Structure 1
Amino acid sequence: MRGGPHPRERGQVALELIGFVPILLLLGLATIQLGVAAYAVSQAGTAARAAARTESYEESDTDGASAGRAAMSDWMADRADITVGGGAGEATATARVEIPSIVPGVGNFGTAERSAVMPRDEESTP
């Protein structure tokens, strides 16, 4: 008797591989989607800090929302909603970024929201 595989077991490995490939692809897409979501959260934080920092300057030529969008990557800035405000002693900014889907036709993954507060410049008199 030969030491090779039994005739009925030929191709078993190929069938197992074909069955496992969709699971690997799904796991890979989920990992990439998680990375995109983390990137959206990071971009929201960057935008909120930049917007609050700009709003805190007394002599700023730019509004905070524009500065927040400029601090983000272009494809995330298109999905961002930045609001600025605050009182006399502080400037606040909130950035909301829609988390994009990497799979076309798959629904919304929600929004990433981050806020930042910066103290306003105090006017110094010489």
Structure 2
Amino acid sequence: MSTYLRRGFRVTRGFRSSCRLRSARRFRSACRLRSARRLRSDRGVSILEFVGFLPVLLLIGMAAIQLGLIGYGVNQAGSGARAAARVASQGGDGGAAGRAAVSGWLDPRVTPEKGAETTTATVQVHVPGVIPLFGGYDVTRRATMPTDD
């Protein structure tokens, strides 16, 4: 910033362009007041915006985690149902095979039904809720295999 005097006036070049040509006495006080007002009015605005938007960000993050858990539960239930139906169709313990194929924290309930030509296994898992206002979700998958005799 460069400053020079011309006929009793102070002329500045630089970041104080709004106070370009003022008398020497009024120059300092006017520019200081303007910059002080500008600084005080912007103080804390960004933190207020962040605090206001933080619950929305948390809700979006928790919803994404919940959707991921539901997808994982669907995948696990399908794998358990296929394993239970395959083992039960060959004459084994389908319930134990279905429970072994699913993660234990999902609390799987396996029901194999052996028929004359096909064996159907149903697996129901409970996916816990991440968002406090909503409960958990129950996911059910079925798989059918031909019975081997």
Report the TM range for the smaller structure's normalisation.
0.7 to 0.9
Task: Give the structure with higher Rg (CA).
Answer: 2
Question: Which residue in the other structure is 1:84 paired with?
Answer: 112
Q: Distance in 2 between matches of 1:19 and 1:110?
A: 30
More helix by share: 2
Moved over 4 A (4+): none
Alignment map for 1:27-38 (pairs within 5 Å): 27-38=60-71
Q: Any conservation in 2 of the 1:97–1:113 contact (CA below 8 Å)?
A: yes
Alpha carbon RMSD of aligned pairs, Å? 2.0
* Number of aligned residue pairs: 116
More strand by share: 2
Alignment map for 1:1-126 (pairs within 5 Å): 1=31, 2=35, 5-58=38-91, 60=92, 63-76=93-106, 79-103=107-131, 106-122=133-149
Gaps spanning 5+ residues in structure 1: where? none
Q: Distance in 2 between matches of 1:107 and 1:21?
A: 20
Cα deviation for residue 5 of structure 1 reads 4.2
Q: Any conservation in 2 of the 1:99–1:108 contact (CA below 8 Å)?
A: no
SS at match of 1:70: helix
Cα deviation for residue 106 of structure 1 reads 4.4
Provide the identity percentage.
43
Gaps spanning 5+ residues in structure 2: where? 1-30
SS at match of 1:16: helix
> Higher RCO, 1 or 2 (CA under 8 Å, sep at least 6)?
1
Note the alpha carbon deviations across 1:4-30, whole angstroms, 9 max, x for none.
Answer: 944222111111011111111111011
TM-score by length of 1: 0.82
